[in-house]
Amino acid sequence: MRPSSVRYIVMTMVILLALVVQTAVLSRIHLFGVRPDLILVLASLTALIRGSRSGFWVGLAGGLVGDLFTGSFVGLGALSKALTAYMVGTLGRRLFGERILVPLVAVAFASLFEEWLYVMGADLFGQALPIVGGFTQVGLPVAGYNVVLTPLVFPWLLYLYRVLERLEGERSPVV
């Protein structure tokens, strides 16, 4: 089996695992009154570790599977997560360089940006969601929760990508 095929299979399983953990476990644990967005955390950290294109595809795939599970606005979550991850990958290294706070700050801004994108998209397709209320009641708390999850996810994701890169014989573009 080609190493790139192994990467696709492994990332597919990681996305599905994140979806299951999010819906069956984390959604029961409310922090700041909200549920986290593990798929977005995954996509944003992938963008930092592997680059904006990888983050885009993880966001698109993870978001699409999540949308299919939810059954509402299928595609909107995929697009918002993909674009957000692409932005994180593009800006993350330029603005912050190699600092320990990079993943935390990136995830915080990604959470706020993705919620805004989602609200705008839902409004565009006829479902008016509160913008100001969405920012204060959803965006900020979700950003806080995602930041709490980041130190738990980042080391494992970094390790996983290093292993995959060793399998593929690539140099690691690590943050």
Partner 1 sequence: MSQSPKVKRWLVAGLVFVASAVIFLSSDPRTQLSWPEKIVRDTLAPVQDVLAGVGRSMSRTTESIVAWRELVHENARLKTDVERLTREVVALQEAGRENQRLRDALGLVQTSTVKQIAVEIIARPLDNWANFVTVNKGSRAGIKPGMPVVTAHGVVGHVQNVTAGTAQVLLIIDRRSAIGAIVRRTSQLMLVEGARPTAEALHLKPLVREANVEVGDEIITSGLSQIFPKGLPIGTVVSVKSDEYGFVESATVRPYVDFSRIEFAFALAAAVDAEGEGDTSASE
Q: How far is the CB of 44 from partner 1 (least distance, A)?
A: 16
Stretch that binds partner 1, among 5-13, 91-99, 117-125, 167-175 (CB under 8 A): 117-125
Dist. CA 175–CA 164, nearest whole Å:
16
Among 137, 140, 144, 158, binds partner 1 (CB under 8 A): 137
Q: Is 126 in the site for partner 1 (CB under 8 A)?
A: yes
Q: Is 144 in the site for partner 1 (CB under 8 A)?
A: no
Radius of gyration (Cα) for the chain, nearest Å? 16
Q: Is 131 in the site for partner 1 (CB under 8 A)?
A: no
Tell the residue number behind the tokens 């680059």, with chain if given.
51
CB atoms inside a 10 Å sphere around CB 72:
10
What's the DSSP call for residue 31? B
Q: How far is the CB of 166 from partner 1 (least distance, A)?
A: 29
56, 89 contact by CB (below 8 A):
yes
Region 71-90 residues binding partner 1, contact defined as CB under 8 A: 71-77, 79
Nearer to partner 1 (CB atom), residue 8 or residue 99: 8
Dist. CA 93–CA 175, nearest whole Å:
8
